[in-house]
Chains A and B, each alone.
Chain A
Amino acid sequence: MKMSASEKQDCLVIKVDEPRIDAAVAVRFKDGMRDLTEHPARRVILDLSSVDFLDSSGLGAVVSVMKHLGRGRQLDLAGMTPAVDKVFRMTRMDSVFDIYPDTNAAIDGAAHAS
């Protein structure tokens, strides 16, 4: 599972460099996210701009990562492609996460919020 993390301002930005988060990689995605989010940033931005497919297993994995971060830490989503956005909308998970068009908007969003 190709994913990379970088620190931008006070945020940890994690980019998924895979075209799919599906049942075949959901567990690896969760493990990768758990490793990368050991970094103590309070706010984690997940950059999904390279992901053009996500199924219910992938969705469950993203939710699991968010729950794993626990209270006081936040998982925001950025750069969702139309097919990924559709799954979040249909399951109403779009109301659970803060969603930004891209990482820059997500970082700015944080700046405005604080």
Chain B
Amino acid sequence: MLSRTAFRATFENVRLAIERAMTTLEPLHLQPEEASSIELVLAEALNNVVEHAYAPGDEGHIKLVLRHGRAGLLIEIRDNGRPMPNGRAPLGDNPKDYARADDLPEGGFGWFLIRELARDLVYDRENGENFLIFRMAIGRR
């Protein structure tokens, strides 16, 4: 176990939690590419909770657990908000070649980025709690 934190679900707190997480990971001497992938996935997954699991003004909380093992970095995120649509973690929109600027999407890439960068992603709901766990492959040179 590297760290276990809980914080109120706001975008500002997500920022602070990511900053703390990246400090926690410093002793692992990650490659810059690995670190930026972890930072991005954390931002997308945690901001999703703030944006979609809780209604505005909700006093929602997020729990974040980081574990380091032989398989890499395990990231576990829990919240008490709404379940994911249809009880499944979204696949995300694949980027396309956009013909016209008017067609460009301004959102929807969060889950695509998570799916691209994270491995073995599992979403489940236990006792009214959303549970998301995935692995980041690190330290493979």
Contact = CB atoms under 8 A, between A and B. Distances in A.
Interface residues of A, number: 26
A20 B47 CA distance: 14
A22 B43 contact: yes
Given A56-B44, A67-B101, A83-B40, A91 B109 contact: yes
Contacts, number: 82
B126 interface: no
B32 A63 contact: no
B104 A63 contact: yes
Interface string A21-56: 011100000000000000000000000000001011
A90 B32 contact: no
A56 B43 CA distance: 9
Interface size class of B (residues with CB under 8 A): 20 to 34
A91 B115 CA distance: 12
Contacts of B43: 22-23, 53, 55
B12 to A, nearest CB: 5
Interface of B: 11-12, 14-15, 32-33, 36-37, 39-40, 43-44, 47, 50-51, 95-98, 101-102, 104-110, 112-113, 116
